[in-house]
Structure 1
Amino acid sequence: MIDFSSSPPAKPAHGAASLSVILIVRNGERFIAEALASVFLSRLQPAEIIVVDGDSSDRTIAIAETFPGVRVWRQTTRGIANAYNEGIAQASGDYLAFISHDDCWLPGKLDRQVAFLESHPETDAVLCQVEHFLDDGIACPPGFRPELLGVARPAWIMEALLARRQLFARLGGFDPAFAVSEDSDWFARAIDDGVQLVVLPETLVRKRVYGGNATLTGSQTNPLLLKALRSSIQRKRQGVQP
């Protein structure tokens, strides 16, 4: 298990101090350029973008390395939860933000979220509204509710999150027992621990729907969401902190 309470890596000398962006990916050459380009649509630029690569066999790494500030970290473990944990351990920023290779941030996302945290020191993390959209030429995949398309909704997902680094030292990382829905378990632990988390009214993330979204259409999602809920109920009953 990674110890997030240890000292972070030395901060990069370039870019805006104290902001790291983490992108986890495996074989994402189709969309990763668009995702990385959207990171730069804020006035505030990250000090580093850590691309955690899960053994891609396509051009993912080559494309990522064409963007400034990108550092590729080759994942040493397996799974989405472990990929996030490795990325967080590598990050040097005081603020951490997360983006998927197949999604996009809207202009000003980093500006708005960092400004909120800096003006609200009592807040540990901030989320935003998210709009789902269908990829070009793709029919709505089975298992996805079409009424969610094109509508801004508050989203408790990693792509919408910007958090203070110390929050991960406080809560720990993501549970590898969750093949998907690892973020739902983490957010449940955050709520149970009394984390101060605010959802902004602005739509700052567009989430692509195309049939390849494991967390949107995967068969394991609902059982693992129930597992996260049961774990939360058990913590409350036992009075155990995460």
Structure 2
Amino acid sequence: MRLGRTAERRRRRSVRSRRPGTRPPSTRPCCTSSPICRTCCSSTRSTTSATRAGPTRRLRASPAVRTVTGPLVSVIVPVHNGARFLAAALDSVAAQDYGSMEIVVVDDGSSDNSAEIAASYRVRLLQQPNRGVAEARNAGVAESSGELLAFLDQDDLWLERKVSRQVAALEADPTLGFVLTRMDILLEPGTPRPEWLPEQMRWQDSRGTVPSALMVRREAFERVGGFDPGYRLTCDADWLARAKDAGVRWSAVDEILVRYRIHGGNEIYDRDAVLREVLAVVGASLRRQRSVIGTGGA
């Protein structure tokens, strides 16, 4: 009985010592210091219904000091069963030194906890039935509002100056429609090397023609059109071919700013399917060029 009375007296003293109109300190984490920090302010949308965000989680990488600002960059991250690498990809966005970004994650019908991982970051999360990566990217673009668009696949990584260096290149030359960057290849331990990947490319850099290396002006993207869902494996190569055929000017930042991860689960291991689609992309490009020549176009 004495212990109970003592606890009650302590509680009353605590209440009396608190100033009127104040509340106890909140333990809820604040995400205002990071563009994609904990999701006390994340939003989740679905093509069918809204879903609740999952439990918040701590970023493994501390957000960078953002000393560079400029036009808004919309970062589109399509994901399908990408729980294994998604957090690392989003952390690499958090580590950017560029401050004007919005992140749109499109969960393309994942059966793992990809959506829960995405919802633990300060991102806009869209959820849709599995329709393929092309439609997922297009949905993300439609939901975004940035003047510039950047794409990051669920298993790739950005180096911290990737966004700022590409923005600087586009700002320096207003005639450019899009900018690529150099990349290196991150071959996961124990992963067999794809037949198409030369041994020396395991450590040498190359010009990135993958979506994770692309930044494009929205007006140029709309001029070319979205990613074609008819190409399951090479919709990115098809988009670049169409951009070239449309006369969109481009450049590449001569710096390694992307890490392209190969881990055994990539669809690029289906060599025959990739080859068929590449031939289809080349054939479509040749037909477009012949059409322009035949009509006397420039």
Q: Secondary structure at the match of 1:121?
A: coil
Q: Which residue of 1 aligns with 2:173?
A: 120
1:78 to 115, 127, 131: 131
TM-fit CA distance, 1:77: 6.0
Q: Distance in 2 between matches of 1:62 and 1:21?
A: 19
Spell out, residue by residue over 1:142-185, the C-alpha distance to the aligned partner (whole angstroms, 9 max, x if none).
Answer: 55433321110002121100111111211111111111100111
Partners of 2:186 and 2:268 lie apart in 1 by 15
Match of 2:258 among 205, 223, 226: 205
Q: In the alignment, which residue of structure 2 is the partner of 1:232?
A: 285
So what's the TM-score if we normalise by structure 2?
A: 0.72
Amino acid paired to 1:28: G
Please give the alpha-carbon distance, in whole angstroms, between the structure 1 residues aligned to 2:217 and 2:268.
Answer: 24
Q: Does structure 1 conserve the Cα–Cα contact (< 8 Å) formed by 2:182 and 2:257?
A: yes
Structure 1 184/114 Cα, relative in aligned 2: closer, same or farther at 3 Å?
A: same
In structure 2, the residue matched to 1:180 is 233
Q: Helix, strand or coil: the match of 1:53?
A: strand
Larger Rg: 2
Contact 2:109 2:130 in 1 (8 A): no
Deviation at 1:94, TM superposition (A): 0.4
Give the aligned partner of residue 44 of structure 1: 98
Counterpart position of 2:209: 156
Secondary structure of the structure 1 residue equivalent to 2:160: coil
8 Å CA contact 2:106–2:140 kept in 1: the answer is: yes
SS in 2 for 1:137: coil
Aligned-partner SS, 2:84: coil
Kindly state the Cα deviation for residue 216 of structure 1 after the two structures are TM-superposed.
5.3
2:182·2:255 contact (CA, 8 Å) conserved in 1? yes
For residue 46 of structure 1, report the CA deviation from its aligned partner. Answer: 4.6
Divergent runs of 4+, >6 A: none
**What whole-Å deviation, never above 9, does each CA across 1:193-241 have from its counterpart, x for those lacking one?**
1111101110000011111111354541111011000000001111189
SS in 2 for 1:100: coil
Q: Identify the residue that residue 220 of structure 2 maps to in structure 1.
A: 167
Instruction: Give distance in 2, aligned partners of 1:106 and 1:209.
Output: 17
Q: Structure 1: any 5+ residue segments left out of the alignment?
A: 1-13
Q: Which amino acid aligns with 2:137?
A: Y
1:116 positional shift: 1.2
In structure 2, the partner of 1:59 is 113
Q: Superposed, which structure 2 residues align to 1:67-146 within 5 Å? A: 67-68=121-122, 70-76=123-129, 78-146=131-199
Over the aligned positions, Cα root-mean-square deviation in angstroms equals 1.9
Kindly indicate whether structure 1 or structure 2 has the higher relative contact order, using CA contacts under 8 Å at least 6 residues apart. Answer: 1
* Identical columns (%): 38
* Closer/same/farther in 2, CA of residues 143 and 201 from structure 1, 3 Å limit: closer
The TM-score normalised by the length of structure 1 is: 0.87
Higher strand share: 1
Q: Which runs of 5+ in 2 are unaligned?
A: 1-33, 36-68
